[in-house]
Structure 1
Amino acid sequence: MQFNFYLSKCMTVNENGIAIINGNQKRNPQLDDVITTMGEASALAQNLKQVITSPMRFFQTDQKMYIKLEGKSCFGILKIGRKNLFHRDLNGVIKEIQPLCVLDFYVHESVQRKGIGKELFEEMLRLEILRPEKLAYDRPSGKLLGFLKKHYNLQSYIPQNNNYVIFTQYFYNQQTNVSQYQIAQQTNQQQQNPQLCNQQTEQKRVQPQQTPLKMEQLDKMMQQMSLDSKQQYQQYQKNKAQAPWATDQKQHQNMYQTTTGLMSAQIQKK
């Protein structure tokens, strides 16, 4: 989406070309223009009955918006905010949760399928320190559901009356979520850079060959320690079985010589 002014003049842009706007920050006419134009385009693309992203709906809230831009062009927006939701599981049990929600996600048609959406989404996950399955999604479009399935292997959920999608993995423990996220990331890396993944796989093949050598050395050390301990114990048992004076013949001989000498001295004295 093209504007007649440089977007960096009305918002701060980070090193990745993405601006992060908070709903409680000060407004300005140019920023209002960007939000209005992108919000209307998003509603049109998703066939929504009303615009869900506008200055009036965004400012004076705790919502946050990630905006991908360059020069006078705005490529996409991603709006998030925390909501209080009631979720019903397969057993009919209702849980009250307060997840961070994706409220609007739109990439302009002229730059779709170029990685803009993935870049926006990954930046949000990084700064919010979240995994994609720990988010709720407000009325996600077919494109967004396909995006989440392709990049993060998210597809299982229970339809809710409030139209929010919360994937089943949201309720899994942390370790399970980390493992699934890592698997999805590895799959994406393999698709994007097969040569790098092949090098990493080759390194993993080399490393296990070194491990048995270290284990073999450790086994030998343990066996030697056990043998030394066994010999010491056998010597102790042998010494224990002998008479006290038999353990040190030299000491016994010295005691005998000393006693004999004393008796001779006593006889001469008499």
Structure 2
Amino acid sequence: MQGMVYINSLKFDYMQFNFYLSKCMPVNENGITILNGNQNRNPQLDDVITIMGEASALAQNLRQLITSPTRFFQTDQKLYIKSEGKQCFGILKIGRKNLFHRDLNGAIIEIQPLCVLDFYVHESVQRRGIGKELFEEMLRQEMLRPEKLAYDRPSPKLLGFIKKYYNLSSYIPQNNNYIIYSQYFDFMYTNVAQQQSAQQSYQQQQTPQLVNQYRIQQQQTPLKMEQLDQMMQQMSLESKQQYSQYQKSKAQPPWVTDQQQYQNMYQTTTGLMSAQIQRR
């Protein structure tokens, strides 16, 4: 039977299990299971993850396992499993990583993309759309496009898969062996360009207003200065008049004022007496 492989000197049939996989893990209408790292464990589910993880490592000639119960549970990773009845056809594991990416100019930026960490389809069902079905389900669930993912040490088969179905091939090799396609940064650079354009447009809109304000200030300033000069002149004239009156009053001796008051009183008294005499 296809799918037989020797791992650790033990014989595993990693496609066929002796139980229905839907009994140990939830399966949706498309035959795909979506597991979280905080999923409740059970022995049968551990067996599925262990056997499929070992088969994936063997197919990719990896020195150590990428997917195992201990490396999956209690993490923030997700595992997509394609199964039917007692057979398991493939797995796809994703998780978010903190990465440093260097561009062609040597500039380094820090990003946290969602990464494809493991992707394996059993050899007997390859080229039947199983891998595409798994990958598309993951894109729908995560609401992402393929260029917005990072790929951890992708095999030549995975690179060919991405190029065939999503026309992605341009990337800059990194020391961390993660592949991030150039289109990943398109939206980032577009945003920067849009922000710069918006800022320039805003400055261009503000410049005429600032010029007009400056012109208005220039026009208003002489008027304000003229008004201020007039007020100062008027205040100076009033001050001079008040000072002149003060000097005049100060120049007269006190008895002059008293004599004037007596004279006014004498004239008033004389007038009253004359009026009384005439009446008599």
Q: How does 1:132-151 map to 2 (within 5 A)?
A: 132-151=146-165
Which residue of structure 2 aligns with residue 71 of structure 1? 85
Instruction: Find 1:60's aligned residue among 74, 87, 92.
Output: 74
Which residue of structure 2 aligns with residue 106 of structure 1? 120
Which residue of structure 2 aligns with residue 18 of structure 1? 32
Instruction: Find 1:115's aligned residue among 123, 129, 136.
Output: 129
Q: Note the residue ranges of structure 2 that are not aligned, 5 or more in a row.
A: 1-14, 191-280
> What TM-score do you get using the length of structure 1 for normalisation?
0.64
Which residue of structure 2 aligns with residue 241 of structure 1? none
RMSD (CA atoms): 1.3
Q: How does 1:225-264 map to 2 (within 5 A)?
A: none
For each residue in 1:24-46, what CA deviation from the matched residue of structure 2 results, as whole angstroms up to 9, or x when unmatched?
A: 11100000000000000000000
1:91 aligns with 2:115: no
What amino acid is the match of 2:147?
Answer: E
Distance 1:56 1:125 in 2: 25
Relative to structure 1, the CA distance from residue 62 to residue 9 in structure 2 (aligned partners, 3 Å threshold; closer, same or farther) is: same
For each residue in 1:73-98, what CA deviation from the matched residue of structure 2 results, as whole angstroms up to 9, or x when unmatched?
A: 00000000000000000000001000
Distance 1:107 1:51 in 2: 16
What amino acid is the match of 1:107?
Answer: V
Q: Please state whether the residue corresponding to 2:16 is helix, strand or coil.
A: coil
For each residue in 1:125-163, what CA deviation from the matched residue of structure 2 results, as whole angstroms up to 9, or x when unmatched?
A: 001000000000000000000000000001000000000
1:33 aligns with 2:17: no
> What TM-score do you get using the length of structure 2 for normalisation?
0.62
- Aligned length, in residue pairs: 176
Which residue of structure 1 aligns with residue 62 of structure 2? 48
Q: Please state whether the residue corresponding to 2:66 is helix, strand or coil.
A: coil
Distance 2:50 2:39 in 1: 16
Q: How does 1:88-237 map to 2 (within 5 A)?
A: 88-173=102-187
For each residue in 1:209-238, what CA deviation from the matched residue of structure 2 results, as whole angstroms up to 9, or x when unmatched?
A: xxxxxxxxxxxxxxxxxxxxxxxxxxxxxx
Q: Note the residue ranges of structure 1 that are not aligned, 5 or more in a row.
A: 177-270
Larger radius of gyration: 2
What amino acid is the match of 2:127?
Answer: R
Q: Please state whether the residue corresponding to 2:82 is helix, strand or coil.
A: strand
